[in-house]
Amino acid sequence: MCSGYYLEKAEWMHKIAVAARHHSLMQRISSTIAKPVTTCGDVHLSDIAPVIAPDGKGGGRVYPMMWGFSTKLDGFIPSVDINILEDTGNPVLLDAWARHRCLIPASWYFDWERVHPVISYDTFGDQTPESERRSRRHSKKMSLSDPDLSDSIGDRYMLQTRGSSITLLGGIYQIEDHGGVKFPHFMILMHYAAPNIMFIHNKMPVIFNSSDKELLNEWLNPEAMPPWTSERIFDCAVTDVVYEKCPVPLRRERRPFYAGHKP
């Protein structure tokens, strides 16, 4: 899945950070919700972060965007599975999929290991999922800012593209109204996880090769031909990732691990 991601201070991130902080949208966002753009450190749901989206001239430009599509019923929705997206019939999602695709720069992303329930018997013969007891013990150590705490019963992992310091996530965005002020929100696209990380979660973010400029421009281009489909995503997405356990909660001063590190 993706419970958050991290932006480290790196040379490749410097221009992106400057562009996001000085974008004209930041004045509107700050005047409405009083939030800065996160250009270094943890990024969580509802944070403002740098995102690369079409600039109207056939290229990409950095914009500050809020993570999560907002709904009246569910609050912020962080991600959508591409296997479901095309079949939802939801006009907002379908329009974003067709015309509002984006790229989310990250150094790595986080996920919690999902542990299958283990059934045990108490002295009276009642069955109790071991995962429920572990979940209660774990929840006392978890940060309340992490989503899906009820299901987060295993270790927390940092995951990164192998051989690269950039983990470029695929996403979609839409413009939302906040009291008469409009600015963009993004969601991260998900698909089936690579076999080597399936033990953590059966889904992972869509990741693109940051060095394939032609592919990245085509992803951002609303007029791209042939059109993007879930099958095409499977063919183009990066699935070779490395991973490492991280503390709970993760301390911001933790030194980053590097691409190519063997877990």
Domains and CATH numbers, the chain: 4-113+155-246 (3.90.1680.10), 115-153 (no CATH)
List of residues 6+ apart from 175 with CB closer than 8 A? 182, 183, 184, 185
In this prediction, residue 133 has a pLDDT band, given cuts at 50, 70 and 90, of very low
**pLDDT of 192 above 70:** yes
pLDDT at 208: 97
Calpha distance 29→161 (Å, rounded): 31
Residue 150 per-residue DSSP state: G
CA distance 203 to 192: 5
CB-based contact 151:114 (threshold 8 Å): yes
Query: What's the chain's length in residues?
Result: 263
pLDDT of residue 64: 97
Q: Of 24-28, 97-101, 177-181, which range is least confident?
A: 177-181
Question: Comparing C-alpha atoms, which of 244, 154, 146, 159 is closest to residue 207?
Answer: 159
Q: Does residue 100 carry a pLDDT above 70?
A: yes
Phi-psi region of 41 (alpha: psi -120 to 50; beta: other; left: phi over 0): left
In this prediction, residue 82 carries a pLDDT of: 92
Count Cβ neighbours within 10 Å for each residue of 159-181 and write b for 16 or more, e otherwise.
bbbeebbbbbbbbbbbeeeeeee
Q: What is the pLDDT of residues 39-91, one digit of tens each?
A: 999 999 999 999 999 987 778 999 999 999 988 767 889 999 998 887 887 88
CA distance 219 to 228: 8
pLDDT in tens, 237-252: 999 999 999 875 544 4
- Percent of the chain exceeding pLDDT 90 equals 58
State if pTM tops 0.85: no
Give the per-residue pLDDT at 134.
39
Q: Is the dihedral of CA 241, 224, 213, 10 positive or negative?
A: negative
Distance between CA atoms of residues 111 and 148, nearest Å: 11
CB 193 within 8 A of CB 202: yes
Of the candidates 246, 233, 221, 213, which has an alpha carbon nearest to the alpha carbon of residue 108? 246
Q: How far are the Cα atoms of 108, 164, 196, 208 from residue 45, in angstroms, in the given order? A: 15, 25, 26, 21
